[in-house]
Structure 1
Amino acid sequence: MTLEADYRDFRDNIRRFAQTELAPRAAELDRSGEPPHQVHQAAAKLGIPGLPYPESYGGGGADIFAQCVAMEEMARACASSALSLGSSWILSAVVDFGSKDQQDRIVPQMVAGEARSAWGLTEPKGGSDLMAASTKATRTGDGWIINGVKRFITNGGWADWYMVFARTSEKRFGLFLVNKADPGVSFGAQEKKMGMRASPTSDVILDNVIVPEWRLLGDPERGAEYINKALLKSRMQMSAHALGIAGAALTEALRYTKERVQFGQPVADFQLVRGLVADMAIKVEAARATLCSACELYIGGDPAAKTQASIAKVLCSDAAMAVTTDAVQLYGGYGYLQDYPVERMMRDAKVTQIWEGTNQIHRLMIAKDFYERV
């Protein structure tokens, strides 16, 4: 049995949820730019916010492949909603690196869908260069004081908990759990974006924010190690997100070209169209196979998962951009109109090549690993 076969029923269940709750709202959410409140309520009833958390806390106990399946199916229906929902999984880092006390305090909120979470990584002068982060955490008698600005934060202002990456010494970093209600926490204006419009994005401003000692995640000097491990999981989840966009665009293109008649026959009968569709399908299936391989390596504890996840990230996001662009082309003039979903998918796809480490950075990482193998 393959992973895909093992999770077929699970995929079907998530797909039904996505088509029922996400897809009908996708266009309106894109137009309004409002956060997907109703989607979150529906997802909580199904247990999606708790998917990666332990069953002992009422979570789903899902492995990374199941998380990727869920993310892909949700992104097929609405990339913005999928992004916001998946952000609730960030605090699974508390399970990986935190204390039992932290887990008892935080995890039940996430599993129940009562709280949302967000990264606190990117800064105005530090995107892919995470080690250039200047946000500073200074130890006090009974906790820490944090100062800095985090930029392009998904769920910024909407999330309740922020996992903040901050410098604790000249060359060391820690991870801190910051709540939006903490004095000194404020948010910049919501960014006006090309795509992912229903997923809030803003600066998170930390001005002398005092956090108690229990909000420090693990060792205050091992934050870089923790974040790299957390980002490996996130990278695969977001690869699946991009794959979902690509798969949805391919499906829409197939449907449209079968129905659209030109010169007395369906557009799908033209040889050039079939060649383009075949290339789209190849990109989607190659990306899916690579992501599945990365998940298998990760589940098996193989260190090769790191590079395979980078390859999956590049393949999935490049496929998302290429396939959505081709889908718009196949729609002709209609593809340029907001009345049709491929226009939204193309806008949503672009950022997948930028976040989670730009594809250029991942290519450098992939090349480095392969050179070291020689």
Structure 2
Amino acid sequence: MFTFDKLGLPVLGLRGLEADLSEEERAIQENVHRFARDVMRPIGKKLDAMTPEEVVAEGSPLHDYMAQMYASGILDLGALDSMSDLEKSRIFPLIFEELGWGDSGLAIATLASAIPAFTAYGTGDPEIIERFGSLPGCWLATQPDKGSEIVDMDATNVHPGTQQLKGNLSVRKDGNEYVINGQSSAWVSYGPLAQTAMAYLPCDYGDGLFKEGTQGLNWVGIMIPLDSPGVSRGKPLDKIGQRALPQGGLFFDDVRIPEKYAIATGDKAVGQMMGTLTFANMEMAATFTGVARAAFEHALDYVHERKQGGTAIINHQSVQTRIFSLWQKVEASRALSKHVFSYNYASHGPHVLASVTSKTFVTDTAFQVTSDALQLFGGNGLTKEYPMEKIMRDARAAMIEDGENTVLGLKGVTWLTRWYQDKHNISV
């Protein structure tokens, strides 16, 4: 039981109901928050108004942002990699939420561009780290004919009697090299500016692309220097949201890559891709908790300033109810996001079920929160004078990127029912 001598005001932190941050964690949070407020928000606003070509052009504010991000040390890969799992489970969601609060497009540009470097450090191979560990890159998985299907690399959700699509981009083993041909989708995050790629592609090791007697493909996880002969790029994509995040296609014409750069083959490539997806989905949940929080905070400011019916609109009960609903959704999103980070960095984790649970819930909720927050602004919310229409556009993209939410949910329930059947020793 709790008792109160005097019921005072709640103590709320940057992330609402924060109870247990250490001094070091609070200092990290405050540092990232300042960067998000002072650097990310103004640059994100500028980039949102620019064409995709202007965003990636020389002299773009995007380059200034990336330079400041690297100089800030916020994503020092060496330092982050040396943390204990407990430290990662607490500090990563804190950092990612603040970056999402600043600008989700820039946050994802930062994280997507670091995936090859993260992967390189994970190999522990000095040569791989030297070649890929310090260059901006991209995560290459989707193709024009293989979008959501990439989430189902093990072919458990393929329609009966059919096979996975070959796709538009594949690899064949040729002696001590891999030869890449075809095109990626136009949705490769940071693709227009990346210098390296971490790619997961169908691979012919000599017996064809398909595993014999299965519905599924053979796969390879391969690191690609994008200055290799035969690599070219498509136009940067024009889209409704996250316009600060450059996305575009990559084309490969007999691109030859040393065998050493294939860091995962066969089933190991499937496992590594699912590991990358598990981290990315977990990160998306924290990032878009920050987006939802930004929308809530803008709405909370506005309802205390805007007057209708003779008073600030926060004094109308309908507005009070709606503000509290936004607050609840943000806190629920954060709680689930933090819970999944704890699970994935505990001894029994990580697992893709955990991450898709948080990614789908939080991104769906973030869009609800941004839409409902915009509604409180009335007509003002639809104008570019206020930040709400941009935040809502940014949030909408999250329900598709890093796995379309319905398909991720199907993958999640596959693992849930597998767990249930194993636990009860049944098969249905």
**Do the two structures share a fold, i.e. TM-score over 0.5?**
yes
2:140 aligns with: 120
**CA gap 1:290/1:305 in 2 versus in 1, 3 angstroms:** farther
Q: 1:289 deviation in Å?
A: 0.5
Q: Is residue 345 of structure 1 aligned with residue 371 of structure 2?
A: no
| Among candidates 303, 308, 314, match of residue 268 of structure 1 | 314
Counterpart amino acid of residue 21 in structure 2: A
- Cα RMSD over matched residues? 2.3
2:189 aligns with: 154
Q: 1:306 deviation in Å?
A: 2.9
Counterpart amino acid of residue 195 in structure 2: D
Query: Secondary structure at the residue paired with 2:229?
Result: coil
2:105 aligns with: 80
**CA gap 1:298/1:189 in 2 versus in 1, 3 angstroms:** same
The correspondence of residues 133-282 of structure 1 with structure 2, limited to 5 A, is 134=167, 135-151=169-185, 152-169=187-204, 170=210, 171-219=217-265, 222-282=268-328
Question: Contact (CA 8 Å) 2:171, 2:180: kept in 1 or not?
Answer: yes
1:355 aligns with: 401
1:95 aligns with: 121
Counterpart amino acid of residue 18 in structure 1: A
**CA gap 1:53/1:219 in 2 versus in 1, 3 angstroms:** farther
The percentage of aligned residue pairs carrying the same residue is: 26
Q: 1:94 deviation in Å?
A: 2.2
Question: Contact (CA 8 Å) 1:136, 1:146: kept in 2 or not?
Answer: yes
Query: Secondary structure at the residue paired with 1:353?
Result: coil
| Bigger CA radius of gyration | 2
Query: Secondary structure at the residue paired with 1:12?
Result: helix
Question: Contact (CA 8 Å) 1:84, 1:155: kept in 2 or not?
Answer: yes
Question: Contact (CA 8 Å) 1:52, 1:62: kept in 2 or not?
Answer: no
1:312 aligns with: 358
**CA gap 1:88/1:69 in 2 versus in 1, 3 angstroms:** farther
| Among candidates 25, 36, 41, match of residue 18 of structure 1 | 36
Question: Contact (CA 8 Å) 2:274, 2:352: kept in 1 or not?
Answer: no
2:132 aligns with: 106
Q: 1:341 deviation in Å?
A: 0.6
Whose helix fraction is larger, Structure 1's or Structure 2's? 1
- Tell me how far apart the structure 2 counterparts of residues 258 and 51 of structure 1 sit (CA, whole Å): 41
Question: Contact (CA 8 Å) 2:106, 2:245: kept in 1 or not?
Answer: yes
Question: Contact (CA 8 Å) 2:148, 2:403: kept in 1 or not?
Answer: yes
- Per-residue CA deviation, residues 57-105 of structure 1 (Å, 9 max, x unaligned), is x9xx972542332222112111211111111331212233463421233
- Tell me how far apart the structure 2 counterparts of residues 220 and 304 of structure 1 sit (CA, whole Å): 21
Deviates more, 1:291-300 or 1:216-225: 216-225
- Tell me how far apart the structure 2 counterparts of residues 14 and 167 of structure 1 sit (CA, whole Å): 39
| Among candidates 73, 76, 82, match of residue 50 of structure 1 | 76
- Per-residue CA deviation, residues 125-161 of structure 1 (Å, 9 max, x unaligned), is 1112113453221122331111121111111121111
Query: Secondary structure at the residue paired with 1:165?
Result: strand
Query: Secondary structure at the residue paired with 2:403?
Result: coil
TM-score, reference length from structure 1: 0.91
- Tell me how far apart the structure 1 counterparts of residues 68 and 47 of structure 2 sit (CA, whole Å): 15
Where does structure 1 differ by over 6 angstroms across 4 or more consecutive aligned residues?
Answer: none
- Per-residue CA deviation, residues 162-181 of structure 1 (Å, 9 max, x unaligned), is 11112223232111111221
Deviates more, 1:227-236 or 1:63-72: 63-72
TM-score, reference length from structure 2: 0.80
How many residue pairs were aligned?
A: 364
Deviates more, 1:363-372 or 1:199-208: 363-372
- Per-residue CA deviation, residues 203-239 of structure 1 (Å, 9 max, x unaligned), is 1111111112222114455211111011111111111
Q: Which runs of 5+ in 1 are unaligned?
A: 110-114
- Tell me how far apart the structure 2 counterparts of residues 343 and 161 of structure 1 sit (CA, whole Å): 33
Q: 1:255 deviation in Å?
A: 0.4
Counterpart amino acid of residue 285 in structure 1: E
- Tell me how far apart the structure 2 counterparts of residues 139 and 281 of structure 1 sit (CA, whole Å): 53
- Tell me how far apart the structure 2 counterparts of residues 164 and 14 of structure 1 sit (CA, whole Å): 30
- Per-residue CA deviation, residues 313-347 of structure 1 (Å, 9 max, x unaligned), is 11210111001101110001000001111110000
1:112 aligns with: none
**CA gap 1:118/1:62 in 2 versus in 1, 3 angstroms:** farther
- Tell me how far apart the structure 2 counterparts of residues 45 and 62 of structure 1 sit (CA, whole Å): 22
- Per-residue CA deviation, residues 290-318 of structure 1 (Å, 9 max, x unaligned), is 11010101111324743222111112101
1:40 aligns with: 66
- Tell me how far apart the structure 2 counterparts of residues 101 and 3 of structure 1 sit (CA, whole Å): 43
